[in-house]
Structure 1
Amino acid sequence: MFKITNSNTSNRERTREVNNLTILRARNIDKNYGDKEVLKNISFDISGGERIGLVGFNGAGKTTLANIIYGITLPDKGTIETGKESFKVGYLLQSVDYNVSDFHQDNMTSEFLEITSELGLKKVNSWENEHFSHLSGGEKLKIALANIWVSNPDILILDEPTNHLDLQGVRWLINQLKGYKGTVIIISHDRYFLDQTVSKIYELANKKLTIFDGNYTEYRIEKKKRYEEQLHQYDVQQKYKERIEGQITQLKQWAGKAHRTMREQEGFKEFHGVKAKKMDRSIKSKMKRLNMELEKNKVERPSEEKKVQFQFNAGDKRGKRMIEAKQLTKKFANRTLFQDSYFFINYGERVGIVGPNGSGKSTLIKMLLEKESISDGDIWKSSSLKMAYLSQDVADMPLNKSVIDSLGLTNREEIFHARTTLANMGMKEEKINQPIQTLSLGERTRVKLTKMLIQEHDLLILDEPTNHLDLPSREQLEETLSQFTGAMLIVSHDYYFLNKLCDTLLVIEDDKIKRIEMSLEQYETKKNMSADEGKKQLEEQLLRLDTEITAVISELSLLTPDSDRYQELDKQFLALTSKKKQLLAIE
């Protein structure tokens, strides 16, 4: 144990001094689970006030390292030292599973109640025990977060803190972390959240830890730069090696010829013998120089990041209506989630469902799937509609069945397709025949996605699809879904994911479901704008659209309807006029 000493300095100087001091040291940490080596020779220092993002593929050892720092897991080798005797670590676990007994009205301090209120949970102290026994995932997480926050830990470890938080909760947590004086370690696959909260990235890969300065986006840029630099150095070294080995091969050929000539030509033995020995010495010298160079400055070929592949199939019915809700109402006892709501979804549209925790996002999905009753109103669905649903709950899978058995496949071709799909998503062959209960949460999500991938669908209903997926898998899923020609209905806390994929929103607010013809970023901007600012921006957008429409009409007038360019411009014209109609509706 090493000590931190206090000096008689001002509060501001002391804060700066503490923030520069090392509060935790990890040295030569190894951790194995049976024959599986998870961490090898991991060392790092953590200073006061640092904001660290811990990233890596599923199974890379992130939670294991967090458990070692917290103290609930011991390393097989190495040490963790802290800067003081009463060192406190606050740990928000990835799977929040607290009992009602963990929350008593007696220990609900004013600070705790203030935090839960800011997170959108009103009057927690007046909740009955019955309420605590039916908490949603988001409500559990918010209460757990508030409970940990008021304990004022030296290091705060947050394992996937945004998995069940609504946008209000995410914004609150981002703002709180900016003002938090302690050290924070965040395990997260939420790129937006990491960009807003951390200034250093710890990457776990191949049992090793690599440290990068900056937030997630800066880390990705720097990692790519390091990969390209190492690949260049490796290529240079390989060319040098090939050149030297070529010279050695040539010398060996010459030396062999000299040895043969010496044996064959009796009168030139001495001359060719000297020549052969000289070449032998040159070969040994070059071999020695090459080996020394490789030993001293050997550059390994950088390992490429694992590629995760998704591919969804869809029919081609774009533009046609698939779902329409009229006067839709949902009530539970005395509580109304939404009422008298109207919305529609067309084939090919990408729609995000937005609303605070408890507003009815998952309930709406269940109503569309006919797993929840309608209190009033009606939902019409096309008779030819083919839907696929990915729930956020991975606990609803048959835990004792193997991966293949859980998919319910009997056709040999389908089984082969499923195995190929799982492999493309990074699932190792030996995992496919294991029971579901032995898989990580991320691996279980991949199995669920596989079930959707092997069939053709018109509508993908995705409830928190990125939960438990590692960052590369999220980015690949995002890229693949952007190419999907069918319709999507998405509930997600992942701001980047939702904003990139969805250009239309179903917003649940004020007891209504409202269809909004804009992206999440546009919607958030509009909400935060004054009326005059919003009107000015809308006028500018309409002006730009009018200019584009005029340009398209001008070019169309010069073409014949049978030309490819005419068809292309005609589609562009329809898209522009549709966008203008949407903006005029907002106005």
Structure 2
Amino acid sequence: MFTNQNVVLKVSGLDKSFQLRKILENIQFDIKSGDRIGLVGGNGSGKTTLAKLLLGKLRPDKGTIEKSDHIKIGYLSQSIDFEVSEFGQHHSNNGEDLYQYTKELGLNKVYDWNGERLLHLSGGEKLKLALSDIWASKPDFLILDEPTNHLDFKGINWLVSELANFDGPVLVISHDRHFLDQSVTQIFELANSKLHFYKGNYSDFLVEKQKRFENQQHAYQVQQSQIKLVESQMEQLKSWSEKAHRDSTKKGSGPSKRQFGIKEFHRAKAKKRDSQIKSKMKRLESELTKNRIEKPSEETTVRFQFDASGKRGKRIIEAKNLGIRFGDHTLFQGSQFYINHGERIGLLGDNGSGKTTLIKMILGEETRFEGEIWKSDSLKIAYLSQDVDDLPADKNALEALGFTDRQDIHRARTLLANLGLTEHILNPIKTLSLGERTRVKLTDLLMKEYDVLILDEPTNHLDLASREQLEKTLAEFTGTILTVSHDYYFLNKLCDRLLVFEDQRVKRVEKTPDEYLNPEKDNVNNGEDDLLIIENKIALILGQLSMLDQKDPKYPVLDQEFNLLLQQKRNIKK
């Protein structure tokens, strides 16, 4: 089918619109065996639409998609619609592989899980089952839509390793910067219905994109200067032409022949000016038709602003002897911790360890637990859940938010516009991307004042610009933040303490996520600190020894201490 034997999929002249909105225009690319492609772009830019077109789940308005014969595509959808009740029934021939993958992902004895256990799966556990199902099917080509959403760090490391060992091509739609840097060697960016291509990982893409922007901005400014110069020249010629036309119709004194000659001279002059103007206009139009340089579009600025309603007492939440189980499955037990005002706490633990369940307990939505949770009476809590499917599908964003007061509606419109939803504010929720739906939910939070923000996977579905702006805004929030996130960059930028879910316990840890997840770094830093202290002591003793006579009784004591410090320094440097 393909002239190049390495090509497994070829896209030519692809167009797709929904109603009057152009999503994709003249998209063309090849995917070759072994390609590692990250597909990025703003929320609603058409990434998932393109994936569905490649899979044949949608039909293009124009263009073709050619695939290698008998190619088997493993597809992970952004919204996990995997039916856990059917788990293991799809692959009766390779069930052993299926359960091996679930075990590697930290889901033990899945085949023993009963109905009660399956009813209480976390988002991460559902995702791990879906990934195991895909890998067990032995695909030739992977298309993964936001594969790290909900996935714990153990699962992300597994996925990075598996992708490195996978022989076929991989197309990953993701907003996870750390994951993209580890997993891809090309970036396809969807912007303004067009596809742009970059070599390298996500960090390389950012550098190259900035360079291209600056080059296009410079070329655009040069061309605009040239256009202004030509337009100025044309205005001058037009002025001269108009004067020549006026002169050709003036009544003058003298012989009629002479008058006729003068008028003819001015008519010829005016005609020449007209010809020059037409020539210059033609040249300018031709130049712009061939080489028009579009003004480079700036990234849409997303603006968040959270307001805390005021400071409260120092300790705002405290748990004593806390535990919860579902049937025979214990999430955690005998746990105690506290949360103070103004702290930024990350909830860290494997998928299914009980992070979202603890949030529901704090919110009062889950009451079947042991022990107690105390909360300050005057506490105002705002909660962003990881589920975006709970918005009414047929209502638009303003209707879904449910505001009736004119002032509230005006403020909601402004906030939605700040979040980049100006064009789609009146579209039904079901037509919005998952990232756009997340922005609608954020607007609901922004409309209120509160002391505590509880965020369950807040960066899921958000595009990269929105994630970075959210990080900056949350850093300025004066209240308390409690967040579940598997976005490594986001968690490290925001959190200075942790609630760690480990060995069926929830424990408070006075460390940043990076310090906790990478203890070897902490050891290196401690070694550097120890070395600095020892070197300062050595310098001090050398100064004292230089001022003493060797016969002084203090000299051998200091000399012995000096040699001991030298030995300690050698041991640290080993």
Task: Please tell me the TM-score bracket, short chain as reference.
Answer: 0.7 to 0.9
For 1:217, the equivalent position in structure 2 comes to: 203
For 1:40, the equivalent position in structure 2 comes to: 25
Is the CA contact 1:92–1:157 (under 8 Å) kept in the aligned structure 2? yes
Is the CA contact 1:318–1:486 (under 8 Å) kept in the aligned structure 2? no
> Which of 348, 353, 357 is 2:347 aligned to?
353
Is the CA contact 1:319–1:348 (under 8 Å) kept in the aligned structure 2? no
SS at match of 2:425: helix
1:433-582 map, 5 Å: 434-526=427-519, 528=520, 533=524, 535-536=526-527, 539=530
> Which of 397, 403, 409 is 1:409 aligned to?
403
Cα distance change on mapping 1:32 and 1:259 into 2, 3 Å: closer
Asked if 1:58 corresponds to 2:52, the answer is no
For 2:161, the equivalent position in structure 1 comes to: 175
For 2:565, the equivalent position in structure 1 comes to: none
Partners of 1:285 and 1:67 in 2: CA distance: 50
TM-score (norm. length: structure 1)? 0.83
SS at match of 2:164: helix
Is the CA contact 1:67–1:73 (under 8 Å) kept in the aligned structure 2? yes
TM-score (norm. length: structure 2)? 0.85
Partners of 1:466 and 1:91 in 2: CA distance: 22
**Greater shift after overlay, 98-107 or 87-96?**
98-107
Aligned-CA RMSD value: 2.6
For 2:555, the equivalent position in structure 1 comes to: none
Is the CA contact 1:328–1:374 (under 8 Å) kept in the aligned structure 2? no
Is the CA contact 2:416–2:425 (under 8 Å) kept in the aligned structure 1? no
Q: How far did 1:276 drift?
A: 3.6
1:156-175 map, 5 Å: 156-175=142-161
> Which of 21, 26, 49 is 2:34 aligned to?
49
For 1:89, the equivalent position in structure 2 comes to: 73
1:109-258 map, 5 Å: 109-258=95-244
SS at match of 2:518: helix
1:5-84 map, 5 Å: 21-83=6-68
For 1:419, the equivalent position in structure 2 comes to: 413
1:216-365 map, 5 Å: 216-264=202-250, 266=259, 268-269=262-263, 272-317=266-311, 320-365=314-359
1:379-394 map, 5 Å: 379-394=373-388
Gapped regions of structure 2 (runs ≥ 5): 253-258, 536-574
SS at match of 1:414: helix
Q: How far did 1:107 drift?
A: 4.5
Partners of 1:114 and 1:228 in 2: CA distance: 50
Partners of 1:405 and 1:543 in 2: CA distance: 66
Is the CA contact 1:108–1:125 (under 8 Å) kept in the aligned structure 2? no
Cα distance change on mapping 1:429 and 1:183 into 2, 3 Å: closer
Structure index of larger Rg:
2
Cα distance change on mapping 1:410 and 1:284 into 2, 3 Å: closer
Gapped regions of structure 1 (runs ≥ 5): 6-20, 545-587
* Alignment coverage as a number of residue pairs: 525
Q: How far did 1:46 drift?
A: 0.8
Q: How far did 1:391 drift?
A: 0.8
Cα distance change on mapping 1:437 and 1:34 into 2, 3 Å: closer
Cα distance change on mapping 1:101 and 1:511 into 2, 3 Å: closer
For 1:18, the equivalent position in structure 2 comes to: none
Asked if 1:2 corresponds to 2:21, the answer is no
Look up the equivalent residue of 1:164 and give its one-letter code.
Answer: H
Look up the equivalent residue of 1:48 and give its one-letter code.
Answer: S
Partners of 2:139 and 2:478 in 1: CA distance: 48
Cα distance change on mapping 1:490 and 1:538 into 2, 3 Å: farther
**CA deviation string 1:263-296 (max 9, x = no partner):** 4354744554554444334333322332222222
**CA deviation string 1:5-64 (max 9, x = no partner):** 6xxxxxxxxxxxxxxx22211111122334433222211011110100111222222112
Cα distance change on mapping 1:542 and 1:53 into 2, 3 Å: farther
Cα distance change on mapping 1:192 and 1:294 into 2, 3 Å: same
